[in-house]
Amino acid sequence: MTQRPGPTGGEHTRAVHTPPPPVFAQAPMGLPIYRTAAFAFDSAEEYEEVLAGRAPGFTYSRIDNPTAATFAGGVAWLEGAGAPGEVVGEAFASGMAAISAVMMGHLSAGDHVLCASEVYGGTWSLLSGVLSRFGVATTFADLSDPAGARAGLTDRTRLVWAETLANPSLSVADLSGLAGVAHAAGALLAVDSTFASPVICRPLEHGADLVVHSATKYLGGHSDVTGGVVVGRPDLLAPVRHMRVELGGSLAPDEAFLLHRGLATLPLRMARHSASAQALAEAMLAHPAVTAVHYPGLPGHRDHQRAMALFDSGRCGGVLSVDIAGDRAAGRAFCDRLRIGRNATSLAGTHTKVSHVASTTHRQLDDAALRAAGIGPATVRVSVGLEDVEDLIADCRQALDSLR
């Protein structure tokens, strides 16, 4: 694109048409924030060609924005490192915008979804409370083994949905087993890999068709931005992209800048989150006020072997959950007595966060339903931050000691 000189005229015209930014053929080290809703063209013909997709370029930031596209491309690059074929990405304003675009893009009235029963609450309510109104039926089932998953299929199953690491049991999905079940039924396997990040596991390498992240969590990594991303093959991303454009949940350029910046330190952060979570899990397990610790890095976890086979360098991420002896009050007291860990929504990020599961993420469940889901009245989810692990262990110990 060439630059034309601005028009001259009165002070308002000159104020609106100050000189445009230079377009250098030189790469900036930092990612420019294209904080613009619209793009200009040199001619009406170029405008038409770009809009029609016959010429490269940007038109409108809901459709495409260079900063957002660069972030999505970065995640596709990381998720697709060992995956067969080309992998592309689409960036969204939140994880839920990404999840809803996958579902709206790939499902129609009459279709059926097979979804892991242990799934993010927003995904559960989207399927059971929203898509159900549009004629999409969902079966929530234990997908931990392929036989169980196969039993949940119907002849209308188009999508199988699982999470690499589920909350709060930290169970690990059998990705290749689920891919086999889905593909044999002519369905797609979509995986929410928010808890793992591409540093720990890349589901496309194990047969998944689409991978979704709440970028709000580890990709951003600092709890200061909301975003989402979907990656996969171009033909499978096309309907998802279409929904992003039609429903409008596109990522804003400022948020894209922060999320893209997060990618550079993702491996460093995930290594530290994982090592600290492992050490904290082992320390908590040894405390008499703790009845169980759920972390796949522990040999006693149901999915330990699967985690060691699927996850890079045996890393299991920064989230663990701990069953504290006693009732709901004991779980809350543990959270309140921490001096470093904070009662906070969300997970990932630099700061250690805790949530008492029965009164927060799973507050709709009574004690019996909690028990059925394998959750105790005093279970606490810990999202291990980047603080010194010795300090975190000491903090948890003093809070546990105070309960006895």
Ligand X SMILES: *Cc1c(COP(=O)(O)O)cnc(C)c1O
| Interface positions with ligand X (CB under 6 A) | 94-96, 120, 122, 163, 192, 194-195, 214, 216-217, 226, 228
Task: Report residue 50 as tokens.
Answer: 């770009």
Give the nearer residue to ligand X in terms of CB position, either 331 or 349. 349
Q: Does the annotation mark 62 as catalytic?
A: yes
Give the nearer residue to ligand X in terms of CB position, either 73 or 95. 95
Q: DSSP characters for 35-57?
A: --SB---SSHHHHHHHHTTSS--
Task: Tell me how far, at minimum, the Cβ of 217 lies from ligand X, in Å.
Answer: 6
Q: Does the annotation mark 295 as catalytic?
A: no
Would you say the C-alpha torsion 106, 362, 400, 300 has a positive or negative sign? negative
Can you state the angle between helices 95-106 and 234-247, rounded to 10 degrees?
110
Strand partners, 212: 192, 230
Task: Tell me how far, at minimum, the Cβ of 216 lies from ligand X, in Å.
Answer: 4
Beta strands in 205-336 (DSSP E): 210-214, 228-232, 290-294, 319-324
Task: Tell me how far, at minimum, the Cβ of 163 lies from ligand X, in Å.
Answer: 6
Give the nearer residue to ligand X in terms of CB position, either 90 or 163. 163
Give the nearer residue to ligand X in terms of CB position, either 259 or 289. 259
Active-site hit among 64, 192, 209, 303:
192
Active-site hit among 34, 120, 218, 295:
120
Neighbours of 274 (CB within 10 A): 25
Task: Tell me how far, at minimum, the Cβ of 43 lies from ligand X, in Å.
Answer: 40
Residue nearest ligand X, Cβ-based:
95
Q: Which helix (H) or strand (E) covers residue 192, if one does? A: strand 188-192
Give the nearer residue to ligand X in terms of CB position, either 94 or 197. 94
Q: Does the annotation mark 35 as catalytic?
A: no
The distance of Cα 98 from the centroid of its chain, to the nearest Å, equals 9
CA distances from 243 to 39, 123, 135, 247 (A): 22, 17, 18, 5
Do 225 and 259 touch, CB atoms closer than 8 A?
Answer: yes
Give the nearer residue to ligand X in terms of CB position, either 96 or 187. 96
Strand partners, 324: 290
Q: How far apart are CA 375 and CA 322, in angstroms?
A: 10
Give the nearer residue to ligand X in terms of CB position, either 316 or 330. 316
Task: Tell me how far, at minimum, the Cβ of 214 lies from ligand X, in Å.
Answer: 3
Active-site hit among 34, 158, 209, 217:
217
Q: Is 283 helix (H, G, I), strand (E, B) or coil?
A: helix
Active-site hit among 47, 60, 62, 261:
62
Task: Tell me how far, at minimum, the Cβ of 97 lies from ligand X, in Å.
Answer: 7
What is the strand order of the sheet 157-163 is part of? 88-92, 228-232, 210-214, 188-192, 157-163, 112-116, 137-141
Task: Tell me how far, at minimum, the Cβ of 21 lies from ligand X, in Å.
Answer: 32
One-letter identity of residue 36:
T
Q: Does the annotation mark 404 as catalytic?
A: no
Q: DSSP characters for 328-343?
A: HHHHHHHHHH-SSSEE
Active site residues: 62, 120, 192, 217
